[in-house]
Amino acid sequence: MPHTNPRFISRLTRNTLALILAGGRGSRLKQLTAWRSKPGVPFGGKFRIIDFPLSNCINSGIRRIGVLTQYKAHSLILHIQKGWGFLRGEFGEFVELWPAQQRVAETAWYAGTADAVFQNLDIIRDHDPEYILILAGDHIYKMDYGAMIAHHVETGADMTVGCLEVDTERAREFGVMSVDNDGRVRRFAEKPANPETIPGQPDHCLASMGIYVFNRGFLFEQLLKDSDMPGSSHDFGKDIIPNVINLYRVMAYTFRDPRSGDQAYWRDVGTLDAFWEANLELIGITPPLNLYDNNWPIWTYQEQLPPAKFVFDDDDRRGMAVDSMVSGGCIISGATVRHSLLFSNVRVNSFSQVSDSVILPDVEIGRHCIVRKAIVDRYCQLPEGTQIGVDAEADRRAGFQVSEGGVTLVTPEMLGQEANQVR
């Protein structure tokens, strides 16, 4: 009988309200976020980044969810309306969209992560949760939040911070928690030059995931204090955590794989190189993130499309894909695709070669094209004979974005093409 892990679907998760902070611009993704927020960026062939924290909530038994949007959110809003409308409001289940809407004084935009929640305190009060789970909307991972909420309650915490174990070099990119032997947070440093390590693990540190569990009353109290604090940036990491760790019980919860006990899969796809790498990880024989896991499905909106099709079988004109993932609606017409991920409705025409690339939805690649180590944004139409990723300097001269790791990003605007800006 296969081993199964218990899920903490209980009164704790039923009495939890999840808030997903989905307003981030994601500027390090360059032109990939010119017309969409980072949580709305497509990922994994048929998903968007926001689908991962949303699916984690549903799979954890948390069915009361607010999504806080801000930057260029239209495509994200459409996606959630189409794909996440299956919850039944009459049963107390919902995914609500909470845009910045001047609910407090004359503030137009969310000034920081804490301010985003503060501006919606009246809505939170109406939902009357016992616990509030605050999530970043722009990371890729699978996590049972019920276990974290149970840990929060068992340890008598006022606030619990989800953490990753990372090496000391990588820790400089995160907010780092310093904990005692009981896991209580004693100090916090944002992107420290010399991060403190975990007790007994001199080579590893605890890095904040931007995931928090609060008792309702405690959260309200701290947000009200922070809103009146001169000079505050109104951010959970920069302001709330440093101000509460010495006075209240703040606990760290280490995110581990429930089967192996090792560090669980988690990716911040915040740069072009990280986005490209995380997508291409999925096509491996045993990828670190299993999208074929029936016990933890990733839910999304997917329009009804025909199966992928591969046509022509001549020696010099064979439609084929090797070591790749090809989504519905794609047509590989006498072209070769290797070690690549194709989203929905991509057409690759005869005599073209695509390798080591991520091709977003609704792209057409003309005949005799070569595409290597590239990200091709939605709605691009590559003219016949286009070469991408062959010569980095030529790519730059053509107006394409070349990353530090040599990944070439192409968008319709770079090609001089008009395209639907709702991406």
Binding-site sequence positions for alpha-D-glucose 1-phosphate? 110, 175, 190-191, 208
Taking the C-alpha atoms of residue 152 and residue 237, their distance in angstroms, rounded to an integer, is 18
What is the maximal distance between C-alpha atoms in the chain?
73
Annotated binding residues, written as ranges, equal 110, 175, 190-191, 208
- Which DSSP letter does residue 231 get? T
Judged by phi (left if over 0) then psi (alpha if -120 to 50, else beta), residue 191 lies in left
278 within 8 A of 140, measured Cβ to Cβ: yes
Q: Residue 414, class by beta-carbon neighbours within 10 Å (0-12 exposed, 13-18 middle, 19+ buried)?
A: middle
Locate tokens 């390590």: which residue? 197
Do the beta carbons of residue 254 and residue 262 sit within 8 Å? no
Q: Kindly give the residue spans of alpha helices, DSSP state H, lying in 27-162.
A: 51-59, 74-83, 113-118, 121-127, 145-154
- Give the span between the Cα atoms of 403 and 401, in whole angstroms: 6
